[in-house]
Homo-oligomer: A and B are copies of this chain.
Amino acid sequence: MIFSKRCLHALRAVLYLGTQPPERDFIPIREISKKLDIPFHFLTKILKDLADKGFIESSRGAAGGIRLAKPTAELNVKEIIESIEGEDYFSGCILGFSKCDSDNPCALHDRWVAIKEEIQKMLGEEHLEVLSTRIQEQGLRLLEM
């Protein structure tokens, strides 16, 4: 599995938010936790991170919860993954070296450049707006079976 649990939980939670009917405002974390089978307190921490990064907003108290901070058209999968796994998760060196570029390439640099650019392109194009409607229309899963 390529992504950490934190990242998977974050992705699924954000996709859940994106697929909620627009008339819903703040959605309780408890609801997401139950629907997606993610440990509540763990999810709370992860979502707090996403809130600090500006992806979601939260409100305490009754009728509180979380909601997306931007329109779904302005949120893509890549930036959510990178906010959890680190900004250089896809752009970094495949051998983990901090300085690796065409001037000082690692042994796998050339081949990896092509792959990682493709990954970034595809995931960067994957906006929540399209994704959410696709999930709803085709009944795509956010849950383990």
Q: Which residues of A are in contact with B by a Cβ distance under 8 Å?
A: 1-3, 5, 8, 11-12, 15, 77, 86, 88-90, 92, 94-100, 104-109, 111, 114-115, 118-119, 122-123, 126, 131, 134-135, 138, 140-145
* Bound CA span A5–B109, Å: 18
Contacts of A5 in B (CB 8 A): 96
24 sample A-B contacts, Cβ–Cβ < 8 Å, listed by A number:
A1-B88, A1-B96, A2-B89, A2-B90, A2-B92, A2-B94, A5-B96, A8-B95, A11-B95, A12-B95, A15-B107, A97-B144, A97-B145, A105-B141, A106-B140, A107-B134, A107-B135, A107-B140, A107-B142, A108-B126, A108-B131, A111-B122, A115-B122, A119-B119
Contacts of A3 in B (CB 8 A): 94, 96
* Bound CA span A63–B107, Å: 28
Copies per assembly: 2
**What is the minimal beta-carbon distance from A70 to any residue of chain B, in angstroms?**
19
* Bound CA span A114–B122, Å: 9
* Bound CA span A114–B8, Å: 19
Contacts of A135 in B (CB 8 A): 107
* Bound CA span A35–B141, Å: 47
